[in-house]
Structure 1
Amino acid sequence: MEGGVARVVTDLVRAQVAEGFRTVVACPPGGVLAADAAEAGARVHPWPAVRAPGPRLAGEVLTAARLIRRTEPHVVHAHSAKAGLAARLAVRGRVPTVFQPHAWSFEAVEGRAAALALKWERYGTRWSTRTLCVSETERRVGEQAGIAARWSVIRNGVDLQHFAGDDGTARPAAARAVLPMLKRIPPEVPLVVCVGRLCRQKGQDILLTAWPQVTAAVPDARLVLVGDGPDREELIRLTPPGVLFAGASRDPRQWYRAADVVVLPSRWEGMALAPLEAMACGRPVVLSDVSGAGESLPPGHEAFGLVPADDPPALAAALTVLLTNRALRDRLGRTARDHTRATCDVRQTTAAVSGLYQELLNSPQPMTRKRTER
């Protein structure tokens, strides 16, 4: 209902409405997605569902099935694990169905829960006309896990006009001046910004563990965590000196522009939007090496911007290199901005998704298939 998936859905709605599609969004009421999708032109229907599978699942599937019958869609596009589960159970191949995991459910859990999630993904693919991944690495993870899907890969994109920065060389002092939390921080103070939901996936706890090593080398450095989520109180408890919590932001553009470096230490992803947005603003990024991260970066940036996942010392070392080398930051920022302009336009992403819909509707082949479990 919030974060990257909500932005992806809203971008698709905006483009599809402009193309003349009748676009319906079913989601829990009251969240960012419901409001933004309606503003973008979708017909929003409340779907009372919770985030995780549980005893309410049967009722959620039944409600989804009724909604789908009532709205009579030509294509159902289910985003992320929970909606992917409910929608495929509700439709079961009767309508062309695109499933877009936005990172695999079995990567988010451990032990028995991971085994059950993987078993479902292997089984549920029979009801996916197409499984749409946002990076080649996300597809490979699914394929290596034994998911026998019909695959498509369409990389995430961002609104380049909205996130257009300067030429990548201007200092972030102007952006800091309009953010009340930063007005008392001198422009020369090195600033790292992390934008993301405060949860285990995004790895802010890894970043906080790494931060004392950063400040040992760069004593005046500051870190700002932009976002909210279930781990906020625990993260505050872990917070070392030099860290600020900014809360959620509907538009993080000024935070990217205020930063010297943007970091996202995720434990898993499909392809995160925050690094693309930051690079579009001309800022260098440091990412954990999870699905989509390497594909996000311009060629040659891996040596500076890609670190092993869940590795605080490596994360601290990468941040320290960038914070102590302004010329390197400026060069990487310029290259990042040019790279996103050439490869990460959301208009290309939405056009490719529309093309996928047309391909499915024009296909003479059966929409889904039964198969023998491996």
Structure 2
Amino acid sequence: MAKAFIRRRSEAKKEAAMKPESTDTKKKSLLIPTDNFLPRWDGIARFLSEIIPRLKDKYSITVIAPDFGPYDAGWGESVRIVKIPVLKLKVGDFNPARIEYTIIKREVKKADIVFSQTIGTIGYLAIRAAKKSRKRIISFIHSIEWELVAKAAGFYLLRKYTYKITKSLARRIYSKPDLLIVPSDNIAEMLAWQKIKTRKKVIHLGVDTKKFMPASDKAEAKKKLGLDPDIFLIGNHGRLGREKDLFTLLRAFVAVKRNCPNAVLIVVGSGVESIKRKLESVKGVILPGSTSNVVPYLQAMDVYCLPSLTETTSLATLEAMACGVPVIATPVGFVKDYLKHMANGLLFKEKNSYDLARQIEMLIRHPDLRKRIGNEARRTVEREFSWDKTAKDIEEAIESMIAGSG
């Protein structure tokens, strides 16, 4: 019996020697807290819809997000989503999530890394819980919060006080993570000027250039949307928010319409009801609402206009450029770095509807210029903005945190 035991032990040792060296194959747990999520489409929701599928094979992902309604992202069981009910209170076009610290704290404790997207009720509480639990924290800066909140506010006094309060809160919250991921160098500099000393890493956003492609036939693209192929289509897509300054675009459109009767303005998205009603009141404006697939609309546009008062990257602008649409934009955030006037786009002064109208009319008169700028815009995106590169850089940042070298 003793001999049999010794023989089995010897055989077990031989088998162990023949096996490759053991490695820990268990996926690390990545918690993504966000106050913006599907089916409410915006820049953050678009970012997550592209990044999560590229990270889900590497990490065990849990998303904590507001419950904006049912939506199947097609991620299967590999991504777990914890939904927090939203308040009836509306801030601009946004319903904040309820404060559910117990739920958030429980999920944070399970995580190896917390990858926060926002500093709303979910994002802030997750960062706070992670700090208390000594978890490694990475925050992606999608917007300059104090600019966004202030410009989204309705009247002057509210804007004045929300700006100061939000800036103070943002400084405190952004001092807690181990790493801030920012979409551009100028955003990193802006945060540094605000004495936010947390280490920063620049990672550019991307565009799926196989999905966002120029139309093979612009007239046919308009027909597919039920539009007259002979119209000149001026467009914008995204949220109908006050900080988007769509009224400047509307005033410019009215001016253009006087000289170009076949001009039509299409604004794809949903948001603040008062903005929607104002846009609807003007003849020649089309509001198809929010959509998960904006490509057919971009492909039908002759020019894309971004009149925003604040942006970081403006993913919507990059998507329009990828579709070969000439863009006229305000010089906000990272936009002024990648959009070169009269090369791959046009720039106009904030709130200046006259300047915007003048540049739209120039593109109407010069179809060759439209084509040249649109082609160069497409080349810029192909050359510089890739979701695969974005995901790879984010994965490297996460791995450095896990290894303890971040």
TM-score by length of 2: 0.80
How much has 1:30 moved relative to structure 2? 4.1
Sequence identity (%)? 24
| Change in 2 beyond 3 A, CA 1:353/1:13 | same
Aligned to 1:165: 214
| Change in 2 beyond 3 A, CA 1:58/1:89 | farther
How much has 1:26 moved relative to structure 2? 0.9
1:251 paired with 2:293, answer yes
1:47 paired with 2:54, answer no
Give the partner amino acid of 2:59.
F
TM alignment of 1:75-154, pairs within 5 A? 75-82=113-120, 83-92=122-131, 94-108=134-148, 109=150, 110-154=159-203
How much has 1:58 moved relative to structure 2? 8.6
Unaligned runs of at least 5 residues, structure 1: 366-374
The separation in 2 between residues aligned to 1:285 and 1:40, in whole angstroms, is 39
The separation in 2 between residues aligned to 1:37 and 1:145, in whole angstroms, is 40
The separation in 2 between residues aligned to 1:262 and 1:40, in whole angstroms, is 38
The separation in 2 between residues aligned to 1:192 and 1:161, in whole angstroms, is 23
How much has 1:301 moved relative to structure 2? 4.0
The separation in 1 between residues aligned to 2:174 and 2:282, in whole angstroms, is 44
The 3-state SS of whatever aligns with 2:73 is: helix
The 3-state SS of whatever aligns with 1:35 is: coil
The 3-state SS of whatever aligns with 1:81 is: coil
How much has 1:25 moved relative to structure 2? 0.9
The separation in 1 between residues aligned to 2:328 and 2:362, in whole angstroms, is 11
Work out which of the residue numbers 21, 26, 51 in structure 2 matches 1:12: 51
CA RMSD, 1 decimal: 2.3
**Cα deviation 1:96-115 (Å, max 9, x = unaligned):** 11112311110021212111
The answer on whether the counterparts of 1:84 and 1:101 sit within 8 Å (CA) in structure 2 is no
How much has 1:49 moved relative to structure 2? 4.7
The answer on whether the counterparts of 2:234 and 2:304 sit within 8 Å (CA) in structure 1 is yes
How much has 1:201 moved relative to structure 2? 2.3
Aligned to 1:23: 61
1:179 paired with 2:216, answer no
Aligned to 2:397: 356
Aligned to 2:314: 272
1:286 paired with 2:328, answer yes
Aligned to 1:229: 271
The separation in 1 between residues aligned to 2:284 and 2:45, in whole angstroms, is 31
How much has 1:41 moved relative to structure 2? 4.2
Aligned to 2:73: 36
Give the partner amino acid of 1:138.
I
Work out which of the residue numbers 332, 343, 347 in structure 1 matches 2:388: 347
The separation in 1 between residues aligned to 2:197 and 2:372, in whole angstroms, is 42
The 3-state SS of whatever aligns with 2:209 is: coil
The answer on whether the counterparts of 2:232 and 2:264 sit within 8 Å (CA) in structure 1 is yes
| Change in 2 beyond 3 A, CA 1:287/1:308 | same
Give the partner amino acid of 1:264.
L
The 3-state SS of whatever aligns with 2:139 is: strand
Unaligned runs of at least 5 residues, structure 2: 1-36, 151-158
Aligned to 1:368: none
Give the partner amino acid of 2:183.
V
Give the partner amino acid of 2:83.
P
**Cα deviation 1:101-143 (Å, max 9, x = unaligned):** 3111100212121111111122122311111111223223222
How much has 1:339 moved relative to structure 2? 1.2
Work out which of the residue numbers 218, 229, 242 in structure 2 matches 1:200: 242
How much has 1:335 moved relative to structure 2? 0.7
Give the partner amino acid of 1:278.
A
Number of matched pairs? 349
Higher relative contact order (CA 8 A, sep 6+): 1
The separation in 2 between residues aligned to 1:164 and 1:196, in whole angstroms, is 18
The separation in 2 between residues aligned to 1:236 and 1:229, in whole angstroms, is 11
The separation in 1 between residues aligned to 2:78 and 2:209, in whole angstroms, is 21
| Change in 2 beyond 3 A, CA 1:301/1:356 | farther
**Cα deviation 1:203-257 (Å, max 9, x = unaligned):** 22221122222223323211101111123x4333354322111111110101111
Aligned to 1:65: 105
**Cα deviation 1:175-202 (Å, max 9, x = unaligned):** 112113x1xx2x2321111111111122
Rg comparison, structure with higher value: 2
The 3-state SS of whatever aligns with 1:92 is: helix
Q: Which moved more, 1:36-45 or 1:143-152?
A: 36-45
**Cα deviation 1:336-374 (Å, max 9, x = unaligned):** 111111111111111111111112222347xxxxxxxxx
The answer on whether the counterparts of 1:294 and 1:302 sit within 8 Å (CA) in structure 2 is no
How much has 1:38 moved relative to structure 2? 4.2
1:334 paired with 2:375, answer yes
The 3-state SS of whatever aligns with 2:63 is: strand
TM alignment of 1:211-226, pairs within 5 A? 211-226=253-268
**Cα deviation 1:57-97 (Å, max 9, x = unaligned):** 8933333112222xx22211111231432221221261111
The separation in 2 between residues aligned to 1:149 and 1:213, in whole angstroms, is 47
Q: Which moved more, 1:149-158 or 1:237-246?
A: 237-246
The answer on whether the counterparts of 2:239 and 2:269 sit within 8 Å (CA) in structure 1 is yes
Give the partner amino acid of 2:82.
H
| Change in 2 beyond 3 A, CA 1:364/1:256 | closer
